[in-house]
């Protein structure tokens, strides 16, 4: 019995030390770079970088294994290494997007190659990965993401958006509604309807509900609702969803899979619904310049609500805020 238990323990230890496949490893490197101060241009939404990197990986692996519709690159030698293709695609895309992070990116690529090994199939995979990355980079070169965000000038009048405390920052990503989406025909394709008029009973009811739940010392907000608010405000939402999806992935390395390039792990982190929702969400946020509750007080109440003095780090100033969080859920988790 002791010998059997020792064998099981050694097997478990070897499995725990096994590296996840190249998709997950490079996704971690991508998140590490995005969390590095100054690495991502301030006027370019991080989801663009996420989508480019993972679309490159998707096309590279899918071109070798097949089984799914290509995004741009459709065919590659079946003898090529999908692991090498995934690593080379991520490496090439990241170098283009983050040239100031070259030392980190190159070091990770050398680490990947030490895991994958060498040979003709690896060299083929590297060529496929580079081709896929260069194709998506070329396709996105003129997508409008390099435009200068417009300066927002608050207007007077009931319901008009005003800069919010405590620092009264300009709204972010005001240029993003004009960025070409990755799959949608246009960012306004699913624009939400306008909010109720500020003089309507519906507006007053909604305002009172948000105020009672959102003020610092709310007696109506439950402990669970407080935790939910902290969760969404703790970090950029695209990082939260990325990490959540990564925890859902439990499949073997690419090279050991049968019947295709490992669908779920290869596709989910990259085909991130955020890359579609951010141009659409930016369009929705910019189309209705309505005040948020903490700046809407003069319209509906005499006494200001007791809102937090500091903005949670995961929340950025937008002119309006359609419920993109709820819209992402079925897209990212397959309707579950």
CATH of residue 252: 1.10.606.20
What the block records as the tokens of 131 is: 């081709």
Per-10-residue mean pLDDT, the chain, length 336:
38 44 94 93 91 96 93 92 97 97 98 96 97 97 90 82 81 85 82 85 90 86 87 76 70 46 42 47 51 47 41 52 50 50
CA 88, CA 126: separation in Å to the nearest integer? 5
% helix, strand, coil for the chain, step of 5: 55, 0, 45
273-287 vs 46-65: helix crossing angle, rounded to 10: 150
Q: Is 327 a domain residue?
A: yes
CA 50, CA 92: separation in Å to the nearest integer? 13
CA 120, CA 125: separation in Å to the nearest integer? 9
Q: Is 175 a domain residue?
A: yes
Q: Is 14 a domain residue?
A: no
pTM of the model: 0.73
Q: Is 16 a domain residue?
A: no
Q: Is 7 a domain residue?
A: no
Q: Is 6 a domain residue?
A: no
Instruction: Provide the domain count of the chain.
Output: 1
Q: Is 2 a domain residue?
A: no
Q: Is 37 a domain residue?
A: no
Enclosing domain of residue 319: 22-31+43-332
């Amino acid at each position: 019995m002791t010998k059997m238990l020792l064998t099981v323990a050694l097997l478990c230890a070897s499995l725990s030390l096994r590296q996840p496949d190249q998709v997950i490893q490079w996704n971690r490197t991508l998140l590490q770079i995005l969390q590095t101060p100054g690495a991502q241009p301030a006027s370019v939404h991080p989801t663009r970088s996420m989508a480019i990197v993972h679309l490159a990986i998707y096309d590279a692996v899918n071109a070798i294994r097949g089984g799914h519709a290509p995004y741009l690159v459709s065919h590659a030698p079946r003898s090529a290494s999908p692991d090498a293709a995934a690593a080379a695609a991520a490496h090439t895309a990241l170098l283009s997007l983050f040239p100031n992070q070259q030392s980190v990116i190159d070091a990770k690529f050398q680490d990947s190659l030490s895991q994958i090994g060498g040979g003709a199939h690896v060299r083929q995979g590297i060529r496929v990965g580079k081709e896929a990355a260069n194709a998506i980079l070329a396709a996105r070169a003129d997508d409008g993401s390099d435009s200068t965000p417009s300066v927002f000038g608050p207007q007077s009048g009931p319901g008009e958006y005003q800069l919010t405390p405590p620092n009264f920052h300009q709204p972010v990503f005001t240029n993003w509604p004009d960025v070409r989406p990755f799959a949608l025909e246009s960012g306004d394709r699913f624009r939400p309807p306008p909010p109720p008029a500020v003089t309507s009973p519906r507006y007053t009811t909604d305002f009172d509900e948000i105020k009672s739940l959102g003020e610092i010392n709310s007696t109506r907000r439950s402990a669970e609702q407080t935790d939910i608010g902290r969760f969404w405000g703790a970090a950029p939402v695209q990082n939260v969803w990325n990490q959540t999806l990564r925890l859902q992935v439990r499949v073997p390395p690419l090279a050991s899979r049968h019947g295709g390039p490992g669908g779920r792990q290869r596709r989910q982190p990259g085909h991130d619904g955020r890359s579609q929702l951010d141009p659409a969400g930016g369009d929705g946020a910019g189309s209705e310049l309505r005040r948020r509750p903490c700046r809407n007080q003069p319209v509906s109440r005499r006494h200001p609500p007791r809102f937090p003095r500091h903005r949670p780090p995961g929340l950025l100033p937008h002119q309006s805020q359609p419920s993109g969080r709820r819209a992402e859920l079925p897209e990212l988790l397959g309707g579950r």
